[in-house]
Chains A and B, each alone.
Chain A
Amino acid sequence: MTAPRVSTVAICLPVLLLLYGCTQSRQSASHGDAQRKAHQAESEVPRDRPPTAKTLYSMAEILATQGKDTECEFVLRRCVQEYPRFIPAYNSLAELQMRQGRIHEAIDSLTTALKIHPRDPVLSNNLGMCRLLRKEYDLALARFTDAAGLVPESEKYRANMATALALLGRQEESLSLLQQILPRERAEYNAEILRKAYDREAHPAVAPPPA
């Protein structure tokens, strides 16, 4: 082999290797999320040790994706019992309970978590949502205000505050919050919808007497 050929081969070889490396990383990135989590869950657990909080949580997420709510709840409860300081599990558990209409249990889950992490805005917001579903608007407002105080730039928490305020009949305050996060016209449109919702609750239409 001549000298120029050797040098060309020497340059081409690393190029090919690099190409192979890049393809590999792209292939691994293209795997499905659930599959990746499952692999991660498997690889994280040594055979002789109990599963970590992250493993249990990943497992619960996979089960939730598959629609296996009962199994998912079982894993989340185990996660909460074994790792009481692992907050995401409480949120997922409460979300599942809310989805099934078990609002009271969701409130219990979130209240327990808030005792451990009182300054978690997501927990506060989710608890506010539970209160809103139970039409306990003043309690909902208190939780949304806590969340907005912790993350003042969050439009979501201010919007939730606006909803609770409107349903309490405090329309002016509700509109002021909506105007902070929405263009004027959209803020007024949303405020009007909320006002109508309040009116419907405050003055329910009287059903006509049976004939």
Chain B
Amino acid sequence: MRTPGVVAICLLCGLMSGCEEEARTAADRRFDSEVVRTVNNIGVENAIITQHTLYPYHFDVDGERLNELGQRDFAVLARHFTEHPGLLNIRQDERISPELYKARVALVTRRLREAGIDPARMSLSDAMPGGTGVRSEQVVMILRKNADLSAKPSSGRTITQ
């Protein structure tokens, strides 16, 4: 009697967990979509931090205020700069007057201060995310230096077998 009883109980437990599995799928789906959202969010936030740049599309059209997307992206940057102050670019293009650009910079500086970031530890510029790039004169200088170095005999002992 014991063996069939144990087998039947095992079967029962297996079946019950099988039925439960189906009931859990809705919650699982919700969980999965939350995971995807979070992963997307982390990916986008990392990219925003890497770019550390506010573009014209972050601001109201012809206005100094950050739009809703601008406020969300700025919040990501502010969270990062609280611990790691550094460079923040605010892009300017030919459609933006110097006065409007100044107003935008002033607003961002104020918002940084409000977020508890010391603007003195921050540097604001109009550069591109990857920096301004190396100027051609600098390349010429580097090439000349390298040429000078290769002409001189290297110091130190020569390793021989």
Q: Which residues of A contact B (CB under 8 A)?
A: 4, 7-8, 11-12, 14-15, 18-19, 21-22, 25-26, 29, 138, 141-142, 145-146, 148-150, 152-155, 158, 161, 165, 170, 172-173, 176-177, 179-181
- Cα–Cα, bound, A151→B83 (Å): 26
Let me know if B11 is at the binding interface, CB within 8 A: yes
- Nearest residue (CB) in B for A181 is B44
CB distance A18 to B12 under 8 Å? yes
Residue of A whose beta carbon sits closest to that of B25: A29
By a beta-carbon cutoff of 8 Å, the part of chain B in contact with chain A is 1, 4-5, 8-9, 11-12, 15-16, 18-19, 22, 37, 40-41, 43-44, 47-48, 51, 53, 55-57, 61, 67-73, 91, 93, 128-129
| B105 nearest CB across to chain A (Å) | 18
Could you say which of B51, B57, B73, B93 contacts A141, with CB atoms under 8 Å apart? Answer: B57
Nearest 6 CB-CB pairings of A with B: A149-B68, A180-B47, A149-B69, A153-B41, A11-B8, A4-B1
In the complex, what's the smallest C-beta–C-beta distance from A171 to chain B, in angstroms? 11
Q: Is A145 a contact of B69 with CB atoms below 8 Å?
A: yes
Q: Which residues of A contact B91 (CB under 8 A)?
A: 172-173
Question: Known contacts A4-B1, A11-B9, A142-B61; is A149 also within 8 Å of B72 by CB?
Answer: yes
Q: Which residues of B contact A150 (CB under 8 A)?
A: 68
> What is the distance, in angstroms, from A93's C-beta to the closest C-beta of chain B?
26
- B73's partner among A152, A155, A170, A172 (CB-CB below 8 A) is A152
- Docked complex Cα distance between A170 and B59 (Å): 14
B4 touching A8 by the CB < 8 A rule?
Answer: yes
Return B63 CB to nearest CB of chain A, in Å: 12
Q: A12 to B8, Cβ gap below 8 A?
A: yes
In angstroms, Cα B9 to Cα A7, docked, is 12
Is there contact, CB below 8 Å, between A15 and B72?
Answer: no
| A181 near B72: Cβ-Cβ < 8 Å | no
A146 CA to B5 CA in the complex, in Å? Answer: 64
Task: Verify B69–A181 contact, CB threshold 8 A.
Answer: no
Q: Would you call B41 and A8 a contact (CB within 8 A)?
A: no
A114 to chain B: closest CB distance in Å? 15
Contact residues in A for B18 (Cβ distance below 8 Å):
22
Instruction: Give CA–CA (A158, B57) in the complex, Å.
Output: 11
Take A145-B67, A176-B55, A176-B129 as given contacts and tell me if A152 and B72 are in contact as well, using a CB distance cutoff of 8 Å: yes
Query: A20: shortest Cβ distance to chain B, in Å?
Result: 11
- Using Cβ atoms and an 8 Å threshold, which residues of chain B touch A152? 41, 44, 69, 72-73
User: Would you list 20 pairs from A and B whose C-beta atoms are within 8 A, ordered by A residue?
Assistant: A8-B4, A18-B12, A18-B15, A18-B19, A19-B15, A22-B15, A25-B19, A26-B22, A145-B68, A149-B68, A149-B69, A149-B70, A149-B71, A149-B72, A152-B44, A153-B37, A158-B44, A173-B55, A177-B57, A180-B51
Residue of B nearest to A164 (CB): B57
Bound Cα distance from A103 to B133, whole angstroms: 45
**CA–CA, A8 and B56, complex, Å:** 76
- Report chain A residues within 8 Å CB of B4: 8, 11
Chain B residues in 8 Å Cβ range of A8: 1, 4-5, 8
Q: Please determine whether B51 and A179 come into contact, CB atoms closer than 8 angstroms.
A: yes
Q: A15 vs B91: C-alpha distance in the bound complex, in angstroms?
A: 69
Contact B40 A155, beta carbon cutoff 8 Å: yes
Q: How far is the CA of A192 from the CA of B56 in the complex (A)?
A: 21
